[in-house]
């Protein structure tokens, strides 16, 4: 689990958007849309863009894992996978949110970096 400091200190608004890019992903009904909208609006900001991109990539990874777990429920192991993915998503998003509030860019472990 790596974390990076941005080249320049983010403003209060940038830090807020960085925090929101992570925390919105666990709000029911928002999911992947929160980080996607923030990324599309503020991708030019180094701090907000990187946080939103990491969150977006992680949520894509989570959705792919949930699809695999859903398919594997036919052989029972999928239930354990769905539970583990749900807990990992919640814990890692909370950690990333805390790091964003400390002006750091959090790199999720187990993350497919599809959006560059």
Mean pLDDT of the chain: 89
The dihedral of CA 45, 2, 35, 93: what is its sign?
A: negative
What does the alpha-carbon distance between residue 47 and residue 15 come to, in Å, rounded to a whole number?
Answer: 8
Whether the Cβ atoms of residue 70 and residue 82 lie closer than 8 Å to each other: yes
- Give the model's pLDDT for residue 1: 53
Task: State the pLDDT at residue 6.
Answer: 62
In this predicted structure, what is the pLDDT of residue 2? 60
Tens-digit pLDDT profile for residues 48-79 = 999 999 999 999 999 999 999 999 998 888 89
Alpha carbon distances (Å) from 82 to 58, 64, 72, 89: 15, 11, 9, 10
The pLDDT score that the predictor gives to residue 112 is 86
Residues 20 and 48 sit within 8 Å (Cβ to Cβ): no
Band (pLDDT 50/70/90 cuts) for residue 39 is: very high
């Amino acid at each position: 689990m790596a974390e990076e400091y941005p080249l320049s200190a983010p403003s209060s608004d940038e830090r807020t958007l960085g925090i929101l890019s992570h925390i919105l992903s666990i709000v029911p009904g928002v999911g992947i849309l929160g980080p996607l909208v923030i990324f599309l609006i503020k991708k030019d900001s180094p701090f907000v863009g990187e946080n939103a991109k990491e969150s977006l990539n992680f949520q894509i990874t989570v959705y792919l894992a949930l699809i695999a777990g859903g398919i594997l429920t036919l052989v029972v192991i999928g239930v354990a996978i769905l539970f583990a993915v749900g807990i990992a998503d919640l814990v890692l998003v909370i950690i990333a949110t805390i790091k964003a509030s400390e002006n750091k860019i959090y790199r999720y472990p187990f993350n497919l970096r599809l959006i560059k």
